[in-house]
Amino acid sequence: MLNLLNLDRQGLSSFFIKLGEKPFHATQVMKWIHQQGVLDFDAMTNLSKALRLRLKEIACISLPQVDMLQTSQDGTRKWLLQLDNDNSIEMVFIPFDARGTLCISSQVGCALDCRFCATGQQGFNRNLSVAEIIAQLWLAEHTLRAEQKSERAINSIVMMGMGEPLTNFNNVVTAMNLMMDDLSYGLSRRRITLSTAGIVPAMRRLREQCPVNLAVSLHAPNDALRDQLVPINKKYPLDQLMAACRAYTKGKPGRQITFEYIMLKEVNDSTAHARALIKLLKGIPAKINLIPFNHFSHSSYQCATPEAIENFRDILMQAGLLTVTRKTRGDDIDAACGQLAGIVRRRKNTI
């Protein structure tokens, strides 16, 4: 049965046309599902009874099951969502004042095998469907709205949960189109950030098809070190990655790339590394996010000392690079960057 959560505005219009119905029903159904949070066809009162009956026969609107919800001392929340018998994923809501940011997963596990990441260490099973991606926003938005009795709960999205979003390109782009559509969540392009470990050809396609904010997980200023930490670097080394970053910002005034840099003790945190980073980023409109390493079981890395992080930041700032140290949120419930694991019962190690 077709899950209507898989369809964006265009997909829903074609669906109704194929049924021999008027395409404007797409507008009505999108509003019911995404704006009103209605999943029951019978409650869609502006559709004729006959159409509702027909929809019930051939389609469904189905969400993953919420297996667990944990709340951190700092208000961060983590949901464990069961997709099917073999797979569960996690998503995280990070509140700031009245509203907040939702961190969304794009795959079950991850195939990239970054050495410092819990998701990478568990292996990869499969891509998420459009429905499984947008359902994360649906669940968080409508749960929080009901709880807070507010009209709006989530005002920004980061595609930074489990998985590499650019290796699930089509589904991620369709889901982001739904996030931005005025008939559903109406989030502006600037309120969505996609984080990638550097899938160079897909970065070019993203600029053409859905140019949201881009964050790049850099983590090392030279190929020798980056090959070890982020193995996809062997396929797309730094000269290619930097060229793709330049191309992403070209001709779009005001656009900056956020470079994420995890701070690992005595691995990538020295003054020399900071200087090399400044050289590497020359000429690219950049903002730098230093991420203190978050520990997970079986990891042999340690977080850089606060002094090393401060020193690193000072050197970058003195060179005129806007640098922010990311505040760790939700680590008491393993909801911080790199700690998401979910459940991957079956592993495939290819994308």
Q: Pattern 243-262, binding to ligand SAH, x per CB under 6 A? A: -----------------x-x
- The DSSP-derived string for 199-263 is -HHHHHHHHHH---EEEEE---SSHHHHHHHSGGGGTS-HHHHHHHHHHHHTT-TT--EEEEEEE
What is the Cα–Cα distance from 118 to 101, expressed in whole angstroms? Answer: 21
294 is in an annotated binding site: yes
- Does 269 sit near ligand SAH (CB under 6 A)? no
- The pairing of beta strand 154-159 with beta strand 99-103: parallel
What is the closest distance, in whole angstroms, from the C-beta atom of residue 24 to ligand SAH in the complex?
37
294 binds ligand SAH (CB under 6 A): yes
Answer yes or no: are the C-beta atoms of 188 and 180 closer than 8 Å.
Answer: yes
Using CA atoms of 111, 188, 327, 142 in order, give the dihedral in degrees to the nearest 10: -80
Residue nearest to ligand SAH (CB): 338
Contact status: 217 vs ligand SAH (CB under 6 A): yes
Residues 6+ apart with CB under 8 A from 134: 5, 34, 175, 178, 179
The answer to whether the annotation marks 218 as part of a ligand binding site is yes
Would you count residue 133 as binding ligand SAH (CB under 6 A)?
no
Q: Does 268 bind ligand SAH (CB under 6 A)?
A: no
* 337 contributes a contact to ligand SAH by CB under 6 A: yes
| Binding segment toward ligand SAH, per CB under 6 A, in 177-185, 203-211, 270-278, 288-296 | 288-296
Closest CB to ligand SAH among residues 160, 309: 160
From the list 68-76, 142-150, 190-198, 205-213, the region that binds ligand SAH by CB under 6 A is: 190-198
Tokens describing residue 167? 């290796």
Rounded to 10 degrees, the C-alpha dihedral 141/145/148/154 comes to 40
Active site residue 103: no
Check: CB of residue 276 under 8 Å from CB of residue 222.
yes
Site for ligand SAH in 32-91 (CB under 6 A): none
Q: Is 90 a catalytic residue?
A: yes
179 contacts ligand SAH (rule: CB under 6 A): no
Rounded Cα distance, 21 and 44, in Å: 16
Would you say 61 or 216 has its CB closer to ligand SAH? 216
Nearer to ligand SAH, 12 or 92 (CB): 92
CA 148 to each of CA 130, 140, 151, 152, 244: distance values in angstroms, whole numbers, following the listed order: 27, 12, 9, 9, 42
Active site residues: 90, 337
Annotated binding site for [4Fe-4S] cluster: 110, 114, 117
| Site residues for ligand SAH per CB under 6 A | 114, 116-117, 160, 164, 195-197, 217, 260, 262, 291, 293-294, 337-338
